[in-house]
Amino acid sequence: MAGGVSRGLSVLEALVGRVDGMTLAEVADLTGLPKSAVHRLLAELSEAGYVRQDGALGEYMLTLRFVSQGLRHLSHIGVVNLAKPLLADLAREARALVRLSLVDGDGLVFVGRFQGATTGLRYDPEHGDVVHLVSSASGYAWLSQLPEDRALQIAYAQGFGDETEHGPNCPRTVDELRARLAQTAKNGVAEVEDSFEVGTSALAAPVRNGDGDVIGVVSIAGPTALLDHARRAELSQPLLDVTARLTALDLPVGSGLT
């Protein structure tokens, strides 16, 4: 077991800093491990969500899920540290849950959360790190900025979920999702109510890098009783102010972490 852990760590270490990824042969050469062993380890790490395969040659690279573990453990450095003061202030103003998610290949991963609710009625989901794109404001905020064909391809790959999953306002067809994305693109802010789950609402807006590419999303979520349409309208401008300031920071995640 110890040998397997050691080998797995050596593969992860080999991929650190390799923004464009590495081929199987390159990982084997760098680690000194047999190609068969490297192939098995990469498959296991991919299944666990820490590595993904991309590129014409099938290069392997780290996912943001791997990076997010370090960000949670060392939240005083990196992207979360740069964003933390702004997001914490927004959470206090909104009196709701504010989260930062970053683009990771064909998905969004939550890397920071700030709870601003001060009453007993609050939203504290425990649904993991990966954003469900079709049902969430964060998903709409990102997908609405992509070419429609690409956005739908990504949404299909993750899945819509069946009728028993998510809330009654979650899109179930391509036309419904297309309309949601078009409305989000027009408004500049994504909104959902009873979509991810019954009784909850959220709004979200994208964060860009210096090249104008969306690198992440900031969202505000809470019980609909406290985050109704009128309240969401009040919080839209503070949310956009924060995403504009984060965009101005030109956060180094567009190419360095994904």
Q: What is the CATH number of the domain that holds 73?
A: 3.30.450.40
Maximum average pLDDT range among 20-34, 59-73, 137-151, 199-213: 137-151
pLDDT for residue 234 is more than 90: yes
Mean pLDDT of 191-218: 92
Asked whether residue 208 is assigned to any structural domain, the reply reads: yes
Asked whether residue 256 is assigned to any structural domain, the reply reads: no
pLDDT attached to residue 99: 94
pLDDT attached to residue 167: 82
pLDDT attached to residue 114: 92
Rounded Cα distance, 160 and 145, in Å: 19
pLDDT attached to residue 141: 97
CA atoms within 13 A on the CB side of 18: 20
pLDDT attached to residue 152: 95
Asked whether residue 45 is assigned to any structural domain, the reply reads: yes
**For residue 42, what is the domain's CATH number?**
1.10.10.10
pLDDT for residue 178 is more than 80: yes
Rounded Cα distance, 203 and 52, in Å: 29
pLDDT for residue 190 is more than 50: yes
Provide the domain limits for residue 175: 66-249
72 and 46 both lie in a single domain: no
Two tokens at 104?
A: 């990771």
pLDDT attached to residue 3: 61
- Going by C-alpha positions, the residue among 205, 124, 137 that lies closest to residue 167 is 137
Show which of 19, 47, 62 is a domain's final residue: 62
Which of 73-87, 122-136, 204-218 bottoms out in mean pLDDT, i.e. has the lowest? Answer: 73-87
- Going by C-alpha positions, the residue among 48, 47, 60 that lies closest to residue 14 is 60
pLDDT for residue 76 is more than 50: no
DSSP SS3 for 241: helix
46 and 87 both lie in a single domain: no
DSSP SS3 for 144: coil
Q: Which residues, in sequence order, are bridge partners of residue 103? A: 108
pLDDT for residue 18 is more than 90: no
The number of domains in the chain is 2
Provide φ and ψ at 106, rounded to 5°. -100, 30
Asked whether residue 222 is assigned to any structural domain, the reply reads: yes
Tell which phi-psi region holds residue 215, choosing left (phi > 0), alpha (psi between -120 and 50) or beta.
alpha
Asked whether residue 255 is assigned to any structural domain, the reply reads: no
Q: What is the pLDDT of residues 96-119, one digit of tens each?
A: 999 999 888 888 988 888 999 887
156 and 238 both lie in a single domain: yes
Q: In the block, which residue shows the tokens 């991919």?
A: 46
Mean pLDDT of 44-54: 87
Q: What is the pLDDT of residues 123-167, one digit of tens each?
A: 777 555 789 999 999 999 999 999 999 999 999 998 887 777 888
